[in-house]
Amino acid sequence: MYLTERLNSGAYEKLGHEQLAAQLSEDLQRESSDHHLRVRYFIDPHVSESPGDVVREQNDRAEHCRKISYGISAQLDHGSTAILTIKELVEPELSRSAYEVALASIADAPALVIDLRECVGGDPNTVALLCSHLFDVRTQLSSVVPRATPTEHFWAEPSRYKTRFGSRKPVFVAVANFTFSGAEMLAYDLQASGRASVVGEITGGGANPCAFHWPTPHFSLLLPEASSVNPITGTNWEGCGVVPDEHCSGDKALSRAIELARVAINF
């Protein structure tokens, strides 16, 4: 095994804790080609969850999510286009209220741009929550297929929300190479269903859902444990990323998406 060879060669002996985590991450990703694989070091020891709880990377997960405003913000661009900026798809048990307020605030806009250029990913349930505001009929999204447990299916459920953006107005998604994981699921599912056009760079290519593990109280391991399957394409974006409908650099993707949205509504 590559890591054993690296260990026996002394490659890790003189590294500090953070350097060790970074080097292990690099070596794991090199061997697996899966950029989800990651080791991180924390000065404060991990506080174990209660039995049945989802294992998280932050001891203060709720406080972390509050500080980042639950990963979402909304604004109107000169009254013509709504812009949703999403930096983390925080799990619904923490973010539902923030997402529903943001989504309700843009429901009447004539066009929508979703900015995922700096989104690290997140919970597929939050992808489903957001998509529920963008469809008018119940729509299947990508499923998560674990190694052992039953497949988990995700659906846009528009009937839950009387106030929503709906399916008839244009949606554009701005992405960059940094866009990853759950953010790619959102872009991929909207693109595959024909609900949105994707603008920007090919995304990072991480389609294997993961879980956090703690080999020691100070080192976390993010480990892929499933795969994603879209019901339309029969595949996913692992290793290849989401390919934009319109290519441009990541730093220009938002402005280009807004421009396309304005053209779509003759603004």
pTM: 0.92
pLDDT at 157 over 80: yes
| pLDDT-based confidence at residue 220 (cuts at 50, 70, 90) | very high
pLDDT in tens, 16-62: 999 999 999 999 999 888 888 999 999 999 998 888 888 888 889 99
Q: pLDDT value at position 51?
A: 84
CB under 8 A, 24+ apart: contacts of 78-82: 80/109, 80/110, 80/111, 80/261, 80/262, 80/265, 80/267, 81/109, 81/110, 81/111, 81/112, 81/113, 81/258, 81/261, 81/262, 81/265, 81/267, 82/106, 82/109, 82/111, 82/112, 82/113, 82/165
pLDDT digits (tens, 9 = 90+) for 86-113: 999 999 999 999 999 999 999 999 999 9
pLDDT tens digits for range 78-87: 778 999 999 9
Write down the pLDDT at residue 145. 94
Percent share of the chain, pLDDT over 90? 82
